[in-house]
């Protein structure tokens, strides 16, 4: 009798070696970028040797003697610590064709290819983390790191409402790390960004190189990703990897605008699914979460004030049990937060807050609905009753907590709506915290909905003193 785990007999076939990595670095007339990218690659020499890496520079600067000499010296110097070579274009080929020279070299060797702009600083560990992305999913064909300046790869996120912070590469790396620790190791994206993009070696054989119809550049990497996506391949972001990108413009504004417009038309005619996928990604809940984290990081950095919001938008001038509960919760949180790095806000109308006496609470901020974004914790003193309410909360806070007062709306059939069951099931699975007003309420909820082990719960029993509910 043999078990399912028994080893086959006979000679074993040798394990297929993992592909190496060819780093493809196009160069164009910048001695400063030569120095910058060269120093950072030297700092990754150990990492490159471990993955059988080599560096291929492509100099597209004919007639620029100083640049040619510096590029040759850099390749010679790096070759002392990691295999490196320099390919020189006798005539200016442009960015896309220069990249293809390096990609073809990788394809001939059967290597993965790492496209790397010269205006970058690649930090140790980034290459290994991107390679781990290829291992994470066999259908991941492209892996990009996060960066300070790389559209959808940017962390802090590339949001027009957020300032783009200045700083050294290491300062940007520290800011990235502060946000990235809250993110999953890898996440899926509709495309990659060519400033630093790891391409699975087998895909170069399956779908080819960059399309030279894109001329001097813009959207060529998006075309490659979409071409591969038609075969089922995906792009990943390696959220723990960081590569600084200076983002120096290679063209004047008019030329850049014309190239972008021309190439965008080509891309969208070929792949009409591209722009809708990008818009859907940018509007997704994970992206909203990244934006909130980015806003917090840019606002104060590490050691920032923890922003807690209590959603009071449903309150009015009426006084009842729920309104008293909400007001007492706000007052209690504000009192506990004094002298700490926690700041509590009431989100709702100023006149409603004043009617309930909340404007007199020391340290409590009254925030109107239209300004209520970027909170660390969002607490609703009540159950969610619509999907719109649930998703709206996810846009406003990183951690979402709800207070379950009772299950009457579910138990009484004349009150139950078709979406309530799925909605409370979603709350039980995805909320970060649920506050119950009694052990009985918690038991009632748990008997009806499967509470995820990751959801933190708290029982906060209501006061039995009638004076606490006096108007």
Note the helical H segments in 338-465.
Answer: 350-355, 387-396, 408-411, 420-430, 439-448
Give the separation between CA 165 and CA 14, rounded to whole angstroms. Answer: 51
Higher pLDDT, 300 or 453: 453
CB of 83 closer than 8 Å to CB of 113: no
Q: Which pTM was predicted?
A: 0.75
CB atoms within 10 A of CB 287: 17
Please state which of the ranges 146-155, 156-165, 219-228, 442-451 shows the lowest mean pLDDT. Answer: 156-165
Nearest alpha-carbon partner for 464 in 321, 310, 326: 321
Residue 250 CB partners (closer than 8 Å, separation 6+): 28, 95, 216, 217, 256
Percent of the chain, pLDDT > 70? 92
pLDDT in tens, 264-276: 999 999 999 999 9
**Taking the CA of residue 237 as centre, how many other CA atoms within 13 Å lie in the half-sphere pointing to its CB?**
27
Nearest C-alpha neighbor of 234 from the set 203, 300, 188 = 188
What would the mean pLDDT of 154-168 be, rounded to a whole number?
Answer: 80
> Residue 253 burial (CB < 10 Å; 0-12/13-18/19+)?
exposed
Sign (positive or negative) of CA dihedral 277, 187, 427, 461: negative
Write the pLDDT tens digit of every residue in 95-135: 999 999 999 999 999 999 999 999 999 999 999 999 999 99
Look at the alpha carbons of 441, 447, 448, 452 in this order and tell me if their dihedral is positive or negative.
Answer: positive
With bands split at pLDDT 50, 70 and 90, how would you rate the model's confidence at 291?
confident
Q: CA-CA distance, 50 to 37, in Å (whole number)?
A: 20
DSSP SS3 for 400: strand
Gap between the Cα atoms of 397 and 375, Å rounded: 5
The reported pLDDT for the residue numbered 319 is 84
**What is the pLDDT at residue 368?**
95
CB 223 within 8 A of CB 214: yes
The answer, yes or no, to whether the previous bond of 156 is cis (omega within 30 of 0) is yes
**pLDDT at residue 88 greater than cutoff 90:** yes
Task: Summarize the confidence of residues 200-222 as an average pLDDT.
Answer: 94
Quote the CA–CA distance of 35 and 27 in Å, as a whole number: 11
Flag the least confident range among 186-200, 212-226, 298-312: 298-312
pLDDT score of 2: 35
Residues 298, 158 contacting (CB under 8 angstroms): no
Higher pLDDT, 165 or 345: 345
pLDDT of residue 391: 87
121: helix, coil or strand?
Answer: strand
pLDDT of residue 470: 61
Q: Which residue has the higher pLDDT, 5 or 24?
A: 24
Lowest mean pLDDT among 45-54, 107-116, 315-324, 403-412: 315-324
Check residue 4 and give its pLDDT.
41
Q: What is the mean pLDDT of residues 363-376?
A: 91
- Residues 5-12 have a mean pLDDT of 45
Which domains occur in the chain, in start order? 21-297 (3.90.550.10), 305-469 (3.40.50.2000)
% of the chain with per-residue pLDDT over 90: 75
Asked if 299 and 376 count as a contact pair (C-beta separation under 8 A), the reply is: no
Tokens of 457: 């719960």
What pLDDT, on a 0 to 100 scale, did the predictor assign at position 12? 53
Per-residue confidence (pLDDT) for residue 303, from 0 to 100: 54
Span 283-291, average pLDDT? 84
Q: Please, what is the average pLDDT of the chain?
A: 90
Residue 35, SS3 per DSSP: helix
- Give the pLDDT band of residue 299 (cuts 50, 70, 90): low
Q: What is the tens place of the pLDDT at every residue in 396-413? A: 888 899 999 999 999 999
Asked whether the predicted pLDDT for residue 256 surpasses 90, the reply is: no
Lowest-confidence region among 31-35, 148-152, 301-305, 427-431: 301-305
Burial class (CB in 10 A: 0-12, 13-18, 19+), 269: exposed
Going 250 to 251 to 256 to 260, the CA torsion angle's sign is negative
């Amino acid at each position: 009798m043999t078990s399912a785990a028994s080893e086959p007999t006979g000679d074993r076939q040798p394990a297929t070696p993992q592909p190496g990595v060819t780093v493809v670095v196009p160069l164009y007339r910048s001695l400063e970028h030569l120095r910058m990218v060269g120093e950072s690659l030297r700092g990754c020499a150990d990492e490159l040797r471990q993955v059988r890496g080599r560096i291929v520079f492509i100099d597209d600067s004919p007639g620029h003697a100083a640049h040619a000499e510096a590029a040759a010296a850099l390749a010679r110097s790096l070759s002392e610590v990691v295999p490196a070579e320099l390919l020189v274009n006798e005539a200016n080929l442009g960015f896309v064709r220069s990249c293809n020279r390096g990609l073809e070299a990788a394809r001939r060797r059967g290597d993965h290819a790492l496209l790397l702009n010269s205006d970058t600083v690649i930090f140790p560990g980034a290459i290994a983390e991107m390679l781990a992305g290829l291992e994470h999913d066999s259908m991941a064909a492209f892996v990009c790191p996060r960066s300070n300046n790389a559209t959808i790869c940017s962390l802090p996120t590339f949001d027009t409402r957020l300032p783009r912070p200045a700083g050294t590469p290491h300062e940007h790396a520290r800011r990235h790390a502060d946000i990235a620790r809250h993110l999953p190791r890898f996440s899926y994206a509709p495309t990659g960004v060519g400033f630093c993009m790891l391409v699975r070696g087998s895909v170069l054989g399956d779908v080819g190189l960059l399309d030279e119809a894109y001329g001097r550049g813009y959207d060529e990497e998006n075309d490659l990703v979409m071409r591969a996506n038609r075969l089922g391949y995906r792009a990943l972001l390696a959220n723990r990897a960081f590569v600084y990108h200076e983002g120096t413009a290679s063209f004047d504004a008019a030329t850049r605008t014309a190239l972008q417009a021309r190439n965008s038309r080509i891309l969208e005619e070929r792949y009409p699914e591209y722009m809708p996928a990008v818009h859907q990604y940018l509007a997704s809940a994970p992206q909203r979460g990244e934006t909130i984290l980015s806003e917090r990081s840019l606002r104060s950095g590490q050691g920032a004030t923890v922003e807690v919001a209590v959603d009071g938008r449903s309150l009015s001038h009426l006084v009842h049990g729920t309104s008293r509960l909400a007001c007492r919760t706000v007052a209690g949180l504000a009192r506990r937060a004094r002298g700490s790095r926690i700041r509590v806000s009431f989100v709702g109308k100023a006149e409603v807050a004043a009617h309930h006496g909340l404007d007199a609470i020391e340290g409590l901020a009254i925030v109107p609905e239209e300004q209520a974004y970027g909170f660390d914790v969002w607490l609703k003193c009540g159950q969610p009753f619509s999907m719109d309410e649930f998703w709206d909360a996810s846009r406003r806070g990183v951690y979402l907590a709800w207070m379950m007062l009772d299950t009457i709306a579910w138990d009484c059939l004349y009150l139950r709506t078709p979406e309530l069951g799925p909605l409370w099931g979603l709350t039980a699975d995805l909320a970060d915290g649920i506050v119950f007003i009694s052990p009985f309420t918690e038991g009632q909820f748990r008997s009806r909905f499967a509470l995820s082990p990751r959801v933190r719960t708290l029982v906060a029993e209501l006061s039995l003193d009638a004076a606490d509910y006096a108007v």
